[in-house]
A and B are shown apart, each in its own frame.
Chain A
Amino acid sequence: MTDKIKKIRLTDRNVKFLEKVEEISGESITLCDQCGTCSAGCPFVEEMDITPSQLMREVLLGQEEVLRARTTWICASCFTCTVRCPRMLDVSKVAEALRQIGLRQAIDEIDINIIDREEYRKMPTIALVSAYRKLTG
């Protein structure tokens, strides 16, 4: 038990964020039943800070902090969740949409100019690709 209970207020801004993610991903987030199949089947879930289903929930509730979750970046788009979702949702696409939004907001987790060589070797490829894409996009 670490963080305090979060209290949220639903406003039009939350709805707009949800609609934006739905538009970019092409997925109906409100269809998610929160069954947890995606989270339990995810091969990287133990590296994540929130599970894929939590990610879906936060998006439904319009919580923009989800953009700062590690989960989006750890997702390697292996599609395990996508092929298993009983509601036929493509969770990978939602993660991708969040990455896109995050990139456009220039939320910066990595500055490639100051990465030392040791860290560079350990970094996930997807993070590097994203970092470069941000600079070239």
Chain B
Amino acid sequence: MKVGVYLCQCGGNISNVVDLDAVEKYMDNGDDIVVIKQSSHMCSGAGQKLITDDIAAQKLDRVVIASCSPQFHEKTFRAALQKAGLNPYLLEIANFREHCSWAHKDKPEDATQKSIDLLNAAIAKARLDYPLEETKMKLGNEVLVIGAGIAGIQAALDLADTGQKVYLVERLPTIGGNMAILTKTFPTEDCASCILSPKMAAAQAHPNITLITDAEIEHILGHRLHFEAIIKVNPRYVKPEIDMDECIGCALCEEACPVETPNYWEQGIVNRKAIYIPAPHAIPYKYLIDPETCLNLNGGSCNACVDVCPQKAMDFDQRPETIKVEVDSIVVATGFDIYDATEKHVFGYGKFENVVNGLEMERIVDHIMEKDPPRQVGKRVAFVQCVGSRDEQIGREYCSRVCCMYSVKLASLLKQAKPGTDIYIFYTDLRAFGKGFEEYYKRAQKMGIKFIRGKPAHFTEDPDTKKVTVLVEDTLSREIIESEFDLVVLAVGLGPNRHSEKVADDLKLARSEDGFLKEAHPKYRPVDTLVEGVFLAGVAQGPKDIPDTVAQASAAAAKVIVALAQKEFSLDPMLAFVHPELCDGCEKCLGVCPVDAIVMNDDDKAGIKETLCIGCGACISSCPTGAIDLNGYTNEQLFAEVEAALKSKKPGERRAIVFGDSGSTYRLADTVGVRKMKYATDSRVLMVPSGCRVTPKLILFALSKGADAVLIGDSPVKGNRFEWAWDFTSANVESAKAKAAEAGIEGERIFSIEFSAGDLAKFIETMNDLSDKMARLEPIPDDKKSSLFDLKR
């Protein structure tokens, strides 16, 4: 083995503090180190040429560079290695600038010592490096869009128009989602179905869209731009068009059917038959039989529809079909459920016949405008805002964003259709934030709709007239209003669609505290998820109105196109792998992997699915034989790094080993250095992909090799890119503490801490406290150290 070591002066940024000549003198001086060179700027062309020339001339097979943090120039140097024909993963970087010269400017001797330790650790790790290859994965152009409301339809159309092949899957028998139920839309009062129907028809007609309705996602497997979905398609019990005896839509069956049941699309205010077309603008526009209410399908002998059907199109023997699709990307557009107001007894919903919810009112108002109302609304109508929103009693802290405006809309439409109606809107805060909303609200006020600030607290029904008496404070006049209304409309809020849970769980999508699906970053990655290739659109991600939903759906489509435009992508090789000779097939690891990347191979040994593994390292501590390992951070490498970093420790000195996750803690230490903020010099921060990569054995090994304390830093639970990391980290820390206690070593030497990338003051305080703590504790006696742990692996 031939190792080349390059010390970067960084134009004095390093060499003015760290004594690089002393580093050369006292560093690991193994026989395999054939080159040691200094350069003013290793990242410059001249600096890189030093490396490439030496690789050619000296046949170097490992390169160690002492320079700035790997976050700055690791890519540069890897490219240089590759150019010289050396595998780019045979490189290690010692962080001399951010962690040493800048952070400890005032203590050059300590900075130099820390530099030597970090360099030795890097050399030790480099010796155990081996070539890694990035697996190239081919990308197709197939996309699964889950949910065919306006969000799903819009995303599907944008994707299909750019040539992607789209599977648009809808749970209900018609596409269109909740928007198809609405009457007109705010603030423009466009008719919802009039502006939605053309899009629904376009989705059905598009050659690149396969529409799968009345279907449920049974299971989705996959991660990172390759997914497999099992979809259960429910039977319609009416033969499809391709048969000769197809349904011709004559409606005779519907007239003949004796069963009446509430029509979902009409929100139950109008009934339908057991054989029905879901809505006048349904797509697909085909009859189907509802298996829950059809007499024949429930063991009865009714044959009314078959008797009248000229085509004999019914087929009661149809069974659910399961289809499997393989896709490269997924758009989750699962939408919402309205709040179930029966949960909140005070409003009398479900108990009083004249209390309805907002979605029912959409249909009622629609029928009033069509002049065929199945029910009257009476003279005096109240709208109650924030039902199921902004109410911590029911665990919904958030604002649903659309209820103010839909109430204003429904009130305005009602007032226009029936000008004599006396309408009150009881609100807590009236939120009219969108384009044209305030103007629309003002128009409603001008029409004479009365806005009363106060939340109704008490509802009673007159047993004879069925009118509802409402008690509410007008918090502006501070008067209590007790009044009787012919109709009370509850402006119910939005919650995540309860049918979306399966999809979210299968895809391991995170949820925000409000229960909606969580975006990867609230500002910069608003439609992405933390799962590569899965994007969010519409209310599934959080309450929003139609324009925002459409914008987000198009954004999600664009992000899919961006992802797929790569045509192929490289898998980061820093993934888990199995040493087959060590695996005894105990299967303990199987349940541990949070992304199900571990499988048992035919030879009864564990194997890793490369396309699923994301390299968190959580599995490693689960393996009793040490058979699972992580490329780039192998057990051997981490042990060697720790040992090398502690080698220079002299009697009386204290050392802490800090394992910092690459996403947060390590970068935080960099930032502290960049800001030239000072902290105690007796810690050595080593990079790990995640806190959960640090096994109890590694912690104990560090203590046995001279560390006085071991700290694991990882990004906070909320926002950790491996959301499960802390479950493992905490367990590992506890396990290490227990073993340390057995050896008579204080538990306080081992701890973990949450660091977000901006926690500068917290980092400094932690390092200084740690230093004080180590000074206070007696050094660990040698006999305890040796009893700690029988090393290797």
A-side interface residues toward B, CB under 8 Å?
5-10, 12, 15, 28, 30-31, 33-34, 54, 57-58, 60-61, 87
Interface size classification for chain B: 20 to 34
Q: Does B523 contact A (CB under 8 A)?
A: no
Q: Does B480 contact A (CB under 8 A)?
A: yes
Q: Determine the chain A residues whose CB is within 8 A of the CB of B446 once the complex forms.
A: 28, 30-31
B424 to chain A: which residues have CB within 8 Å?
10
Determine the residue in chain B with the shortest Cβ distance to A87: B442
Contacting pair B445 A57 (CB below 8 A): no
Contact partner of B442 among A15, A31, A58, CB < 8 A?
A: A31
Contact between chains at A15 and B482 (CB < 8 Å): no
Q: Distance in Å from the Cβ of A88 to the closest Cβ of chain B?
A: 10
Within 8 A of A (CB), among B469-485: 474, 476-484
Is the beta-carbon distance between B445 and A28 smaller than 8 angstroms? yes
Contact A8 B482 (CB under 8 A): yes
Contact with A along B418-450 (1 / 0, CB 8 A): 000010100000000000000000100111111
B480 touches A57 (CB 8 A): no
Chain A CB within 8 A of B401 CB:
no
Do the beta carbons of A30 and B479 come within 8 Å of each other?
no
In contact, B481 and A8 (Cβ under 8 angstroms): yes
User: Which 6 residue pairs spanning A and B have beta carbons closest together?
Assistant: A10-B483, A57-B477, A7-B480, A31-B445, A6-B479, A34-B476
Contacting residue for B448 out of A6, A8, A9, A28, CB 8 A? A28
Contact B453 A5 (CB under 8 A): no
Nearest chain A residue, comparing its CB with the CB of B480: A7
Residue of A nearest to B473 (CB): A5
List of B residues within 8 angstroms of A10 by Cβ: 380, 422, 424, 481, 483
CB neighbours (8 Å) of A33 from chain B are: 445
Q: A57-B474, A57-B477, A61-B474 are in contact. Are A30 and B483 (CB under 8 A)?
A: no
Q: Are B450 and A60 in contact (CB under 8 A)?
A: yes
Complex Cα spacing A47 to B484, Å: 37
Do residues A30 and B448 form an inter-chain contact, with CB atoms below 8 A? yes
| Chain B interface mostly | strand
Q: Which residues of B contact A8 (CB under 8 A)?
A: 479-482
Chain B contacts of A6 at CB under 8 A?
Answer: 479-480
Assuming A57-B476, A87-B442, is B482 touching A30 (CB within 8 A)? no
In the complex the two chains form, is A5's CB within 8 Å of B482's CB?
A: no
Q: Which one of B453, B474, B476, B482 contacts A9 once the chains associate, using CB atoms below 8 Å?
A: B482
Cα–Cα distance between A87 and B445 once the two chains are bound (Å): 11
User: How near does chain A come to B474, taking the closest CB pair, in angstroms?
Assistant: 7
Q: Which single member of B422, B449, B453, B482 contacts A34 (CB below 8 Å)?
A: B453
Tell me the bound Cα distance from A7 to B422 in angstroms.
20
Residues of B within 8 A of A31 (CB): 442, 445-446
Cα A10 to Cα B481 in complex, Å, equals 7
Contacts of B451 in A (CB 8 A): 30
User: Which B residues lie within 8 Å of A87 (CB)?
Assistant: 442
Q: What's the nearest-Cβ distance from chain A to residue B431, in Å?
A: 13
Please determine whether B422 and A5 come into contact, CB atoms closer than 8 angstroms: no
Among the listed A9, A15, A30, A58, which residue makes an inter-chain contact with B445, where contact means beta carbons less than 8 Å apart?
A30
Query: CB distance B478 to A5 under 8 Å?
Result: yes
In the bound assembly, the distance between CA atoms of A58 and B449 in angstroms comes to 15
Q: List 11 A-B contacts (CB under 8 A).
A: A5-B478, A5-B479, A8-B479, A9-B481, A9-B482, A10-B481, A12-B422, A28-B446, A30-B447, A30-B448, A58-B477
Task: Please measure, in the bound complex, the distance between the C-alpha atom of A58 and the C-alpha atom of B479, giving whole angstroms.
Answer: 10
List B contacts of A7 (CB < 8 A).
479-482
Q: How far is the CA of A87 from the CA of B449 in the complex (A)?
A: 16
Is A15 touching B422 in the complex (CB atoms < 8 A)? yes
What is the distance, in angstroms, from A20's C-beta to the closest C-beta of chain B?
A: 13
Given the interface pairs A28-B446, A30-B450, the reply to whether A54 lies near B477 with Cβ below 8 Å is yes
- Contact partners of A57 in chain B: CB under 8 A: 474, 476-477
Task: Give Cα A58–Cα B453 distance, bound, in whole angstroms.
Answer: 14
Q: How far is the CB of A89 from chain B (nearest CB, A)?
A: 11
List the A residue with the shortest CB-CB distance to B470: A10
Q: Cβ of A61: which chain B residues have Cβ within 8 Å of it?
A: 474, 477, 479, 481
Measured CA separation A135–B90 after assembly (Å) = 106
Alpha-carbon separation in the docked complex, A19 to B696 (Å)? 79
Q: How far is the CB of A43 from chain B (nearest CB, A)?
A: 23
Across-interface contacts of B447 in A (CB, < 8 A): 30
CB-CB nearest in chain A for B442: A31
A126 to B448, CA, bound (A): 31
Which A residues are in CB contact (< 8 Å) with B449? Answer: 30
| Interchain CA distance A58-B476 in the complex, whole Å | 10
Chain A residues, Cβ within 8 Å of B445 = 28, 30-31, 33
**A71 vs chain B, min Cβ distance (A):** 14
* Chain A residues near B480 (CB-CB < 8 A): 5-8
